[in-house]
Structure 1
Amino acid sequence: MSIQQYLKEIGRGKDGARPLSRPQAAELMGWLLDGQAHPLQVGAFCLAMRIKGETAAEMAGFMDAMHARLPLTEAPASPVVVLPSYNGARRLPVLTPLLALLLVREGLPVLLHGATTETSRTTATQVLAHLGHSPESHLRAPDPGELLLMGPRQLLPGLADLLDARATIGLRNPAHSLVKHFNPLGRGGFASLVVGCYTHPEYALSMAATHAEAGGHALLLRGMEGEPVADPRRQPAMRAILHGQTVQEWTTESGTIPTLPELPPHLDAAATAAFTREVLQGQRPLPATLATQVQAIVALHRQLQTACTPASPALPVTPGAHA
């Protein structure tokens, strides 16, 4: 079908719109990522999907298109932990860099990708710059105990354009949900563990459904202001998913914790980096919720590594089998 025909299918309003199949969604997203759509068509797609809402099959199809356009990389020595970081700090400090460096200290390979479309927020990349970490210009698999940073434009320029469309349209579009599922190593079919977050409880089910459709591996939780890190003020519910199936669920949210942890007094990158460094050096206590999240990721990574040993062949990149 043409782009116009797809827009007719999804643009008939909340009750009249028809869902796309996974291959159809992949074809449509491919045209958008390749810059083959007129700017008016891009805007129509963003608004139509905002009104209609995405199905799990559509989200999986969109990811298929993204994975197909990624560069091939060498197989990682160990499953990679993927941290999508696209929100940053608004009212609370962005602690995603602390989570990433705690995982690195555990010997895990970590790939953090992200940016923000809101210039007033402090980002994880800005904090990590104060800690001596710079983004890479080319995608590769990080080694065990290494943190690799990537921006969306370095990964997929078309994806970055869709994210940037928010500034013009004023509304989120499917790209803002896609990045929370996005595994940049997906083209090779390598086993990667995506730490995905949501801000509204209803998205817990839709995100789990997307990973089920795509056969992915993930730890899902209600993140801190949209970041994939546990809120230090409360213990979040967490869902572990391997090969699309829920394998474990951790404690449900239980309100505020008895003793609130000490957090940085300011939200700027320098203050957050100083706090992060002090926690890593043992000069400040590690918030209990982050300690629990790190333990969950390490345990899930161990299960994934056992299931996908280095001697095992890479998972095929076919519908339903994306890592």
Structure 2
Amino acid sequence: MMNRWLKEVARGKRGARDLAYEEALQAAEAILEMKATPAQIGAFLIAQRVKEESVEELAAFVEACRKHAARAPLQQGIDCAAPYDGRRTSFMSGLAVAFVLAAAGLPATLHGADPLPPKWGVTLPDVLAAAGIPRASLAKSRCIAAARETGVLVVHAEDWCPPLKSLRPIREELGMRTVLNTAEKFADYGCSAYLTFGVFHSTMFDRIGRLTSRLGYRKGMVVQGSEGSDDLYIHRPTRICRIENGETCLQMIDPETYGLDTPLPERSWTAAEQAAATEQALQNAGHIAFIHQVLLNGAVRLHLAERADSIEEGIYACKALLESGRPWALYRRWMELVKNQPSAV
């Protein structure tokens, strides 16, 4: 069966055609269920990258990922879809932002995995491990219990969607971005109403915007952020695409407009440095650029999720929350819960 789809997508730039949704879904199922051989899977993923995936093909791979994932309406808040290949040169503000959002009454879902190509950067599980949360503490039962009390759901994707773990060796050998890099970020483990989604190139705005609309989110925001993440820059404007009611709108968000424009220190980040900066920001301490980054990203998400009437109002709300200590207290409680809850699912 896989040979049939390979013949369609691997004819080169001029001869290849996009698969219809049902065709792509069959191919995605064959890949996620490992019914195709590793050689066929690798060939298909490379051919798709050369051809470029259509919205129909992306939607099919998302559907296949969701079918094999553990999903429950735990959060129904905002899903923050950052790249699974991690970060190297920028602060990962999303972890701190999630606890600010939760303190504001907006449940937040974060998800990731161990480092992947093409970037092989510091990932969410790396940062948590450096903060004292080992891999075993991210068992589903612990994270679900912590989410119910704190409003922050953290997902190790390979536990919640086992085919991603099975496919890791092939992805590591290929060493490049594939359709899976996009599909895995749309698994939507907490059944969220709102979405932020990071992309590296603005050429992806149209496809990801149409896909977001098709998947039924109430509102979404595609961000050309730091290292392809959904983190808005704090030292320069960020291009975004907002999605609502099937319509897309391109915008620029400039931190200077809100008095937050701040130079960033040049550095290569370790997991320990990411964890330390996260905890400092949650205590309203540390480098002012990272505090400002948490404020701006938190504010934009509160506005997207209809918890603030404007970005300015969101900034004031996030600033007041950081000063109150509530996000830091939520973070510490989350840490206690995932460490101490029984790990059986």
**2:128 maps to which residue?**
128
1:261, 1:228 → 2: CA distance?
A: 19
| TM-score under structure 2 length normalisation | 0.75
| TM-score under structure 1 length normalisation | 0.79
Unaligned 5+ residue runs, structure 1? 304-323
**1:195 maps to which residue?**
196
Structure with a larger share of its residues in helix: 2
Name the aligned partner's letter for residue 177 of structure 2.
R
Map 1:199-278 onto structure 2 (within 5 A).
199-216=200-217, 217-242=219-244, 244-246=246-248, 250-252=251-253, 260-261=262-263, 267-278=269-280
Q: Structure 1's 144 and 85: CA in aligned 2 closer, same or farther, altered over 3 A?
A: farther
Q: What are the Cα deviations for residues 292-323 of structure 1, in whole angstroms up to 9, with x where unaligned?
A: 321221122237xxxxxxxxxxxxxxxxxxxx
Tell me if structure 1 keeps the 8 A contact 2:140–2:159.
Answer: yes
Q: Structure 1's 50 and 255: CA in aligned 2 closer, same or farther, altered over 3 A?
A: farther
**1:95 maps to which residue?**
93
**1:311 maps to which residue?**
none
Name the aligned partner's letter for residue 98 of structure 1.
A
Q: Structure 1's 120 and 159: CA in aligned 2 closer, same or farther, altered over 3 A?
A: closer
Tell me if structure 1 keeps the 8 A contact 2:234–2:255.
Answer: no
2:194, 2:275 → 1: CA distance?
A: 25
Q: Structure 1's 164 and 151: CA in aligned 2 closer, same or farther, altered over 3 A?
A: farther
Unaligned 5+ residue runs, structure 2? 308-345
The count of residues paired between Structure 1 and Structure 2 equals: 297
Identity rate, percent: 24
2:94, 2:266 → 1: CA distance?
A: 14
1:243, 1:69 → 2: CA distance?
A: 28
**2:140 maps to which residue?**
137
Q: What is the deviation of 1:157? A: 2.1
Name the aligned partner's letter for residue 50 of structure 1.
R
Map 1:114-125 onto structure 2 (within 5 A).
114-115=112-113, 116-117=115-116, 121-125=121-125
Name the aligned partner's letter for residue 251 of structure 1.
M
Secondary structure at the counterpart of residue 122 of structure 1: coil
Tell me if structure 2 keeps the 8 A contact 1:182–1:194.
Answer: no
Q: What is the deviation of 1:281? A: 1.1
Q: What is the deviation of 1:173? A: 1.2
Map 1:19-58 onto structure 2 (within 5 A).
19-58=18-57
Q: What is the deviation of 1:180? A: 3.4
Query: What root-mean-square deviation, in Å, do the aligned CA atoms of Structure 1 and Structure 2 show?
Result: 3.1
Q: What is the deviation of 1:196? A: 0.5
Name the aligned partner's letter for residue 302 of structure 1.
E
Q: What is the deviation of 1:58? A: 0.8
Tell me if structure 2 keeps the 8 A contact 1:199–1:226.
Answer: yes
Name the aligned partner's letter for residue 295 of structure 1.
A
**2:304 maps to which residue?**
300
Q: Structure 1's 91 and 266: CA in aligned 2 closer, same or farther, altered over 3 A?
A: closer
Q: What is the deviation of 1:146? A: 2.5
Q: What is the deviation of 1:155? A: 1.8
Name the aligned partner's letter for residue 56 of structure 2.
A
Q: Structure 1's 254 and 95: CA in aligned 2 closer, same or farther, altered over 3 A?
A: closer
1:41, 1:120 → 2: CA distance?
A: 24
